[in-house]
Amino acid sequence: MLLTITTTARPATDLGFLLHKHPERVQEFGQSFGTATVFYPEAGEERCTAALMLEVDPIALVRSRGKNSPDFSLSQYVNDRPYAASSLLAVALADVFRTARAGRCKARPELPGTPLPLELRLPALPCRGGPELARRVFEPLGWEVDARPVPLDEGFPEWGESRYVGLTLRGTARLSDALNHLYVLLPVLDDGKHYWVAPDEVDKLIRAGGGWLGRHPERGLITRRYLGRRWALARTALSRLAELGDETEEELEPAVEEDAPAEVTASDEAAAAEAEAVAEAADAETADAGAADAGAADAGAADTEIADTEAANADAADGTDTADGTDTADGTDAAAGAGAAVEGPAPKARPLSTLRREAVVGRLEELGAVSVIDLGCGQGELVGALLARPRFARVAGMDVSPMALTIAARKLRLDRMPDAKRARLTLFQGSLTYTDKRLSGYDAAVLMEVVEHVDPPRLAALEQVVFGRAKPRHVLVTTPNIEHNVRYEFLTGLRHPDHRFEWTRAEFAGWATRVAAQYGYQVAFEPVGDDDPEVGPPTQMGVFTRDQRS
């Protein structure tokens, strides 16, 4: 909520001309979310400091705008927005210093083009990625960065550091550039539950980042974070239940993002595409209106756009989709944690998810399955691949998450699917711990990376539901091979926070053999992915086939 800009250029009070704010006045600017005040704590010839203070009243905000607020976290009363230099400060800055940011100054036209010695200070900057990330994004822009973490609570030193840093930037730059840097990078570092709904955000990014963003080594991360979260679905029922249970919303994050950190996802891909558009626009001296428009369309209808890409790929006869050849430079996103490197060292390697899907589809073809149900279908990747093959006359996808199914329907372009294809597909919500007649009557059921999301005490219910009741002729189960985890350099713990366990090959074989015997199936095992001679493949697959008699 506080930003100070200090210059030691002489006369330092020129800062007032540049900012279009008189150093001897206190000026207030109403914002939709509070009040911005500009004042000068000091205004001397040698040193002049302008302060932008933003007062945010979360109670008034919640009351007046509630769930439709542009900033997700504003729906909470206990909120860091009144204190932190968040995206709201960026919005206020853009408004209050609009002219300065554009580099215009009628009174002293020569001033905006002149680099000045500047010191920018933000006492509480939310910075996901810590001081290190602050340095990574500001240093390439010529700033000397002093970023110090703020402790979470002095009374509980064991809690460690907060996600805020006290940031001071020193350097010589044009004021307009400095303001644009902050305008773009504050929301990027914040990366909280912040999202933008306006379709013109890409335009804004291109304008503010023109001239520097295209060459920034972190441009991928900046673009992606700036454009915010893709799943801009307002507060969901899940988040309400999280609050009740004393949990954070992330702890109940839908499993649809299961593979997101591990593999290149559609949203990463879209973001990368957008970043390229930005880079092109910036490189070409004149802003390419066409590219900008395209970008804007992307942001406005982002999900549709992703859906198109996905569906087009799913339609492709060979079924390999999304990630082939996509630049995975986003892997440098430190905040994505261990995930980025999880699926193997070779950057151009085909993602494991693709290999897995191909293995499953291939197996289903060999088994001669005509009707297939994907239990835990997530965003519908496998369902799409199966639909692309006419031999699968009936395809069903079941998932427990309504959000996953919504996304799957969008990605599969359900509303525009031709009747003949649509007639082959069923998507519905269900649960693997509840018996369900709708699961019966398929040649094969697929549990692809599903069992490890089930608490071990509930596996018996899953077995009963799938093998005891639904009883398809074939059941394909894939699950991570934990032995292979040592091959992932940065991985600590399991491959996904929602995994309740991961099995060794022996543990998986033990479980599968026991289940097969109990329910009258035979089971065979196959590796998926690079079958490491020492630790085995990254994914293991069990192919169950029902005994003729049972």
Instruction: Please list every residue from 304 through 333 that binds other proteins, using CB under 8 A.
Output: none
Q: Which residue of 211, 290, 347, 402 would you call a contact of other proteins, by CB under 8 A?
A: 402
Decide if residue 40 touches other proteins (CB under 8 A): yes
Stretch that binds other proteins, among 127-135, 240-248, 389-397, 507-515 (CB under 8 A): 240-248
461 versus 509: smaller Cβ distance to other proteins: 461
Structure tokens at 488: 């992932």
376 versus 529: smaller Cβ distance to other proteins: 376
Residues contacting 355, CB < 8 A, separation 6+: 528, 529, 539
Decide if residue 20 touches other proteins (CB under 8 A): no
- We find the least distance from the C-beta atom of residue 455 to other proteins, in angstroms, to be 8
Query: Three-state DSSP class for 283?
Result: helix
Q: Give buried/exposed letters for 202-239 (b at 16+ CB in 10 A, else e).
A: bbbbbbbbeebbbebebbbbbbbbbbbbbbeeeeeebb
Under 8 Å between Cβ of 354 and 529: no
User: Which amino acid, one-letter code, is at 20?
Assistant: H
Residues contacting 121, CB < 8 A, separation 6+: 3, 4, 5, 6, 167, 168, 169
Stretch that binds other proteins, among 47-55, 108-116, 298-306, 382-390 (CB under 8 A): 47-55
Q: Which residue of 241, 316, 423, 517 would you call a contact of other proteins, by CB under 8 A?
A: 241
5 versus 302: smaller Cβ distance to other proteins: 5
Instruction: Please list every residue from 96 through 155 that binds other proteins, using CB under 8 A.
Output: 121, 123-124, 126, 150-153, 155
Decide if residue 406 touches other proteins (CB under 8 A): no
Stretch that binds other proteins, among 134-142, 249-257, 314-322, 363-371 (CB under 8 A): 249-257
- The secondary element (H helix, E strand) that includes residue 500 is none
192 versus 480: smaller Cβ distance to other proteins: 192
Decide if residue 252 touches other proteins (CB under 8 A): yes
Decide if residue 433 touches other proteins (CB under 8 A): yes
Q: At what angle do helices 175-190 and 130-138 cross, to 10 degrees?
A: 150
# residues near other proteins by CB under 8 A: 83
Decide if residue 46 touches other proteins (CB under 8 A): no
d(Cα 331, Cα 347) in Å, to the nearest integer? 9
Decide if residue 170 touches other proteins (CB under 8 A): no
Structure tokens at 109: 């036209």
Stretch that binds other proteins, among 93-101, 172-180, 237-245, 441-449 (CB under 8 A): 237-245
Q: Which residue of 432, 477, 491, 523 would you call a contact of other proteins, by CB under 8 A?
A: 432
Q: Which residue of 5, 96, 465, 466 would you call a contact of other proteins, by CB under 8 A?
A: 465
Instruction: Please list every residue from 468 through 507 that binds other proteins, using CB under 8 A.
Output: 469, 498
- We find the least distance from the C-beta atom of residue 523 to other proteins, in angstroms, to be 21
d(Cα 498, Cα 453) in Å, to the nearest integer? 6
Under 8 Å between Cβ of 457 and 465: no
d(Cα 454, Cα 526) in Å, to the nearest integer? 22
Decide if residue 236 touches other proteins (CB under 8 A): yes
d(Cα 504, Cα 10) in Å, to the nearest integer? 69
187 versus 214: smaller Cβ distance to other proteins: 187
* Cα-based distances in Å from 495 to 254, 258, 259, 313, 499: 16, 10, 9, 26, 7
Decide if residue 517 touches other proteins (CB under 8 A): no
d(Cα 377, Cα 431) in Å, to the nearest integer? 11
8 versus 433: smaller Cβ distance to other proteins: 433
d(Cα 537, Cα 542) in Å, to the nearest integer? 13
Q: If phi over 0 gives left and psi between -120 and 50 gives alpha, with beta otherwise, what is residue 198? A: beta
Q: Which residue of 68, 114, 248, 522 would you call a contact of other proteins, by CB under 8 A?
A: 248
44 versus 211: smaller Cβ distance to other proteins: 44
Decide if residue 438 touches other proteins (CB under 8 A): yes
Quick one: which of 449, 447, 433, 458 has its CA closest to 494? 449
Q: Which residue of 7, 69, 79, 168 would you call a contact of other proteins, by CB under 8 A?
A: 79
Q: Which residue of 65, 193, 235, 546 would you call a contact of other proteins, by CB under 8 A?
A: 235
90 versus 385: smaller Cβ distance to other proteins: 90
57 versus 526: smaller Cβ distance to other proteins: 57
Q: Which residue of 4, 69, 223, 265 would you call a contact of other proteins, by CB under 8 A?
A: 4
Quick one: which of 348, 335, 350, 343 has its CA closest to 449? 343
**E strands, 131-192, where?**
144-151, 161-173
**E strands, 94-228, where?**
116-126, 144-151, 161-173
49 versus 313: smaller Cβ distance to other proteins: 49
Decide if residue 453 touches other proteins (CB under 8 A): yes
Decide if residue 80 touches other proteins (CB under 8 A): yes
Decide if residue 237 touches other proteins (CB under 8 A): yes
Decide if residue 514 touches other proteins (CB under 8 A): no
Under 8 Å between Cβ of 265 and 230: no
- We find the least distance from the C-beta atom of residue 550 to other proteins, in angstroms, to be 8
- We find the least distance from the C-beta atom of residue 290 to other proteins, in angstroms, to be 42
Decide if residue 385 touches other proteins (CB under 8 A): no
d(Cα 314, Cα 446) in Å, to the nearest integer? 18
Structure tokens at 455: 């608490």
Under 8 Å between Cβ of 427 and 408: yes
Under 8 Å between Cβ of 13 and 21: no
Instruction: Please list every residue from 149 through 168 that binds other proteins, using CB under 8 A.
Output: 150-153, 155-156, 158-159, 162-164, 166
244 versus 346: smaller Cβ distance to other proteins: 244
Q: Which residue of 45, 46, 63, 524 would you call a contact of other proteins, by CB under 8 A?
A: 63
